[in-house]
Structure 1
Amino acid sequence: MNVAAKFTAGVAVLVVGGLVALAAPAIFGAYAEMSSWAIFQPPEEPTVEPAPDETEDTLGAEMIDELGDGYVYVGNGTAIPKGSPPGCDDPAWLHVGGMSASLSGNLVDRGARDLAAGIAGTDEEGQIVTYTVAPGDAIYAIGDRFCIANALTLTMLNHTRTIQPGEVLLLHPDSSIPWIPYFSPAGSPAGYQQIPYQLAVEAMSAAAHADDLDAIRRIFADDLAHLFPHPADADVIAKALDAGDLDMLRQMFA
């Protein structure tokens, strides 16, 4: 297997002191030198489908065999250097794309620190699932704290451009629940009006976290449903609304 053939290159856009500048090409795949510093609007990652005779395990084994022990496989055709973030030999990785979101690896809380002093939330099994933002927190530091190698994806996962004190961020999505894309829905044509879609998604997120089912239904009907190029994607939301399933809606619009 030629692992390099599985890589996708893009251009990252950095925001530094209020100025937007093009960074060096960022490689999404095995040779990615991942940084925790703020990148504006990270692209949804492409899905890498294993060949018919490959399983996820064999794909990972082949990639690490070619790259060496300095890398760790994080699923979905992606391998990254160990120690990214620094001190994390077994980093976690958020996979976000299409109508799904999942986490590879386990989250480890390395303790409160400067720029990541908030509180981790756990489920009934003690697994870290959420994080409550503290004043002065920064998204890259939150990633460092929990060993999330692509921490900048947290803003996209949580349908926001900025984080605010008191905000509860989803860190570990339930892969069995659909996730609604933030920047634009699947199948968006050239010239798609992204801003109305994003504003509607953000409004849905706020209403879901306020447990306001009536507002969610109103926003969906008036502002969001018609913006999906594929009606089947809108139907996924409609079914959750019909069931009144706020738990599902809170992750769909984390």
Structure 2
Amino acid sequence: MSRAGMLTTGVAVVIIGGLVALAAPAVAGAQAEISSWALFQPTAEPTTEPAEAAAESSAEDDAIGQKMIDELGDGYVYVGNGTAIPKNSPAGCGHPAWLHVGGKSASLSGDLVDRGEREFAAGTVGLDDEGEIVTYTVAPGDALFAIGDRFCIANALAISTLNHTRTIQPGEVLLIHPDGSIPWVPYYNPDDAPAGYQQIPYQLAVEAMSTAAAAGDIDAMREIFTDRLSALFPDPADAAEIAQALDVGDLHVLRQMFA
């Protein structure tokens, strides 16, 4: 029996370029801190106690990860959501971080470690109240691969998707540690976009929302959303969720949604 066939988790294993992923349900890696997003969520009675549900999800994900590492060996590290990657990717990172960006969520597995300024990654970091790395301000000449190398982010190209941009510019403040408890607005098209969906108007509107969020201009965000973006969501509930965040006007939430 092959090594992959020895897994007993009941899910498929896919190996592409050294990255190993299981075709298993996604498990969100929400951060421990409670964001203000929870302050304006519906108060419907949950079917499972939140702490209990989180513990069950974490236990399931940990079990999948342990199975993968037992099978693949100590040369791999599990980064959540059914994904294992080689250690030392980037080089010198024994425990690399991984950005999970997709659907309507964005989260980080692992810890960001600032290994210091280097060529193509000479910008400055932004810290939260606990001293954790959250943002990175782009310096002239910076490149995503070097930013990933500096902070031990194995999938550095995901930084641009997370931040709703195709290119990074000097002075731009990039989110590199998303808050997994806050929804994220997909960049390329809504998650449920039908075949033939016109992506360009949607992307341009999302980019405009991102620029306004970075500037702290909530009024501009409301105008862009009303005039250009809200009608582009196939599911009205997605537009309603953004409208609710705009009504509350919490910039922390809006900057996560439109990083």
Fold shared per TM-score above 0.5: yes
Give, in angstroms, the shift of residue 48 of structure 1. 3.1
Structure 2 residue 186 is the aligned partner of structure 1 residue 143:
no
Following TM superposition, the consecutive aligned residue runs of length 4 or more in structure 1 with deviations greater than 6 angstroms are none
How far apart, CA to CA, are the structure 2 residues paired with 1:247 and 1:128? 15
Aligned residues with identical type, % of pairs = 67
* 1:202/1:124 CA distance change after superposition, 3 Å: same
Match of 1:19 in 2: none
- In the alignment of these two chains, the number of paired residues is 224
1:48 aligned to which of 25, 33, 43: 25
Give, in angstroms, the shift of residue 111 of structure 1. 0.3
Match of 2:3 in 1: none
By percentage of residues, which structure has more strand? Answer: 1
Post-superposition Cα deviations, 1:179-235, rounded to whole Å, max 9, x if no partner, equal 000011111111110111000000000111111111101110111111111111111
How far apart, CA to CA, are the structure 2 residues paired with 1:109 and 1:159? 23
The one-letter amino acid of 1:59's match is: I
Give, in angstroms, the shift of residue 4 of structure 1. 10
CA-based RMSD of the aligned residues comes to 2.2
- Where do 5+ consecutive residues of structure 1 fail to align? 10-24, 32-45
How far apart, CA to CA, are the structure 2 residues paired with 1:231 and 1:8? 35
Match of 2:215 in 1: 210
How far apart, CA to CA, are the structure 2 residues paired with 1:171 and 1:100? 14
1:243 aligned to which of 215, 239, 248: 248
Are the counterparts in 2 of residues 7 and 27 from structure 1 also a CA contact under 8 Å? no
Structure 2 residue 16 is the aligned partner of structure 1 residue 6:
no
Are the counterparts in 2 of residues 122 and 128 from structure 1 also a CA contact under 8 Å? yes
Are the counterparts in 2 of residues 211 and 246 from structure 1 also a CA contact under 8 Å? yes
The normalised TM-score by structure 1 is 0.83
Match of 1:230 in 2: 235
Are the counterparts in 1 of residues 9 and 64 from structure 2 also a CA contact under 8 Å? no
By percentage of residues, which structure has more helix? Answer: 2
Give, in angstroms, the shift of residue 29 of structure 1. 3.1
Q: Residues 1-254 of structure 1 correspond to what in structure 2 (within 5 A)? A: 1=7, 5-7=11-13, 29-30=20-21, 48-49=25-26, 55-254=60-259
